[in-house]
Copies of this chain bind each other. A is one copy, B any other.
Amino acid sequence: MAFRFFPKSFNFFDLFEKQVSHAVEAACLFKEIVADGGVSEDASSRMTAIEHQGDEVAHKIIDQLNKTFITPFDREDIHALASQLDDITDMINNILNRLRVYNITVVDKNLVEFSGIIDQSVRAVSRAIGGLRNHKDGQVVFEACVEINRLENVGDAMRDHALSELFASARDPISVIKWKDIYQEAETVLDVCEDVAHVVDSIMVKQA
């Protein structure tokens, strides 16, 4: 797949790589926290810091977009990527927040599995975004997008399995309310990664 030449003067690629690096950090920290079995004060404030850094980069991208006349790819694709990459970090932070608000001190094996899949998917998002810059990385981008789609399907099945188990075994309705929410939010992170893959895919097709 051949690419048009992108003027080097634009730093959209730098900004997107920075933004996705915050998403990778968030997914990685989330995996650690879940492996540790619960949310500490320290972990929680580290996540908040990552989320703020991600927010800042998103604002920079939108700001630069609004001030730039010629962009390396379609304006609406830049806008979509900036907001979706932001959503990934926000949503991971949201799950953590739910664990705190619901006072969940023991994390179950389903969430541990989810955190691993989310981590893999966000890393694939990072490869896809990284590949956008380079003219020759069509294959890398393509494989990353296939992987993201695969992991979204894995996540769907995982959520269904987790919900089936939850509803089949649960005695305590309050606990069902809490975990149903958490599993669904975990799956939504994978949906947003898939949205990114769709936008990246569109950019590649248009550049071809």
Q: A42 interface residue, CB < 8 Å from B?
A: no
Taken residue by residue from 92 to 107, chain A's Cβ proximity to chain B (1 for < 8 Å, 0 otherwise) reads as: 0000010011110000
Interface contact B103-A164, CB-CB below 8 Å: yes
Instruction: List 8 interface pairs A-B (beta carbons < 8 Å), by A numbering.
Output: A62-B202, A66-B205, A67-B205, A76-B76, A101-B167, A167-B174, A173-B174, A173-B176
- Does A168 reach chain B (CB closer than 8 Å)? yes
A168 to B103, Cβ gap below 8 A? yes
Contact of A202 among B66, B160, B178 (CB under 8 A): B66
Is B205 a contact of A163 with CB atoms below 8 Å?
no
This chain: copies in complex? 3
Q: Interface residues of A, CB < 8 Å — how many?
A: 26
Task: Specify which chain B residues have a CB less than 8 angstroms from the CB of A103 in the assembled complex.
Answer: 164, 167-168
Report Cα–Cα, A167/B102, bound state, in Å: 7
A180 within 8 A of B: yes
Q: Which residues of B contact A178 (CB under 8 A)?
A: 167
From A62, A66, A163, A180, name the one whose CB has the most chain B CB atoms within 10 angstroms: A66
Contacts of A76 in B (CB 8 A): 76
A129-159: which residues lie under 8 A (CB-CB) from chain B?
none
- Indicate the member of A76, A170, A177, A178 with the most B CB atoms within 10 Å: A177
Asked if A63 is at the interface (CB within 8 A of a chain B CB), the reply is: yes
Any B CB within 8 A of the CB of A206: yes
Given A101-B160, A205-B66, CB of A177 within 8 Å of CB of B173: yes
Per-residue contact bits, chain A 161-197, to B (CB 8 Å; 1 contact, 0 not): 0011001101001101110100000000000000000
